Amino acid sequence: MKTAIVVFPGTNCDYDTKYACELMGSDTEFVWHKESVLPAKSDLVILPGGFSYGDALRSGAIARFSPIMKAVVDFANRGGRVLGICNGFQILLESHLLPGAMKRNQNLHFISKYHHLKVHNNNNPFLKALKVGEIVNIPMAHGEGNYYIDDASRKALYDNEQVLLTYCDASGNVDNPNGSVDAIAGICNKNKNVFGLMPHPERAMEPLLGSDDGVAMLEGLFR
């Protein structure tokens, strides 16, 4: 399997993502944002975390206009799998590959800590290795992770099984750290080939790091 990892000015999770993908047995290749084509025979494209363009205007707002994003959008529209993590999720929202938008965290503070997530839907390639209701412990680090979507579009998310992950405590009770609608932490598109989440599974690949729950989260994409 071959994974293309897109790098923007300000990306800082590219090597973490590369390490995680290689642990899953995937060949990886970095793609600079000024490129106009993805590597041949790419099976998965990942937009990793960081602060693309210094989060100027708002997170992901400038990165969506980078030349490589046309190729990413075309790849997704052809059914290719795309994963956006943290800033990558924000870029997917700005690119309209996923519905909704991000606002500043409700408390207006940057949040950096481990946090529990509950699997809401696993009828998709991303989370098929996990069970509905299963709880994982994954790091998060963001200042604009307050996911917003209007009521009609939110209903469509649930109708189409697009809500993937919600924030919770260790017992599975709602514990919303940033004010996201319905404590949503991750979603996918209607066709279930584009995925976005704010927490960082690539930072939870070994017990030494505090959790290896990221392995179970990612392995569905590499099967």
pLDDT tens sequence for the chain (223 residues): 999 999 999 999 999 999 999 999 999 999 999 999 999 999 999 999 999 999 999 999 999 999 999 999 999 999 999 999 999 999 999 999 999 999 999 999 999 999 999 999 999 999 999 999 999 999 999 999 999 999 999 999 999 999 999 999 999 999 999 999 999 999 999 999 999 999 999 999 999 989 999 999 999 999 8
Q: Is the dihedral of CA 117, 168, 16, 41 positive or negative?
A: positive
Residues that are catalytic: 86, 200, 202
Residues 31-42: tens digit of each pLDDT: 999 999 999 999
Burial (0-12, 13-18, 19+ Cβ within 10 Å), 34: exposed
| pLDDT of res. 169 | 98
Report which of 132, 118, 134 is spatially closest to residue 176, judged by C-alpha positions.
Answer: 118
Do 184 and 163 contact (CB within 8 A), yes or no? yes
| pLDDT of res. 167 | 98
How far apart are the C-alpha atoms of 6 and 62, rounded to whole Å?
14
Q: Which domain holds residue 168?
A: 2-102+109-222
- The total number of structural domains in the chain stands at 1
How far apart are the C-alpha atoms of 167 and 218, rounded to whole Å?
18
Q: What's the CATH code of the domain at 135?
A: 3.40.50.880
| pLDDT of res. 115 | 98
Q: What is the DSSP string of the chain?
A: -EEEEEE-TTB--HHHHHHHHHHTT-EEEEEETT-SSPPTT--EEEE--B-GGGG-SSTTTTGGGSTHHHHHHHHHHTT-EEEEETHHHHHHHHTTSSSSEEE--TTSS-EEEEEEEEE----STTTTTS-TT-EEEEEEEESS-EEE--HHHHHHHHHTT-EEEEEE-TTS-B--SS--GGGEEEEE-TTS-EEEESS-GGG-SBGGGTB-HHHHHHGGGG-
Residues 126-179: tens digit of each pLDDT: 999 999 999 999 999 999 999 999 999 999 999 999 999 999 999 999 999 999
| pLDDT of res. 223 | 82
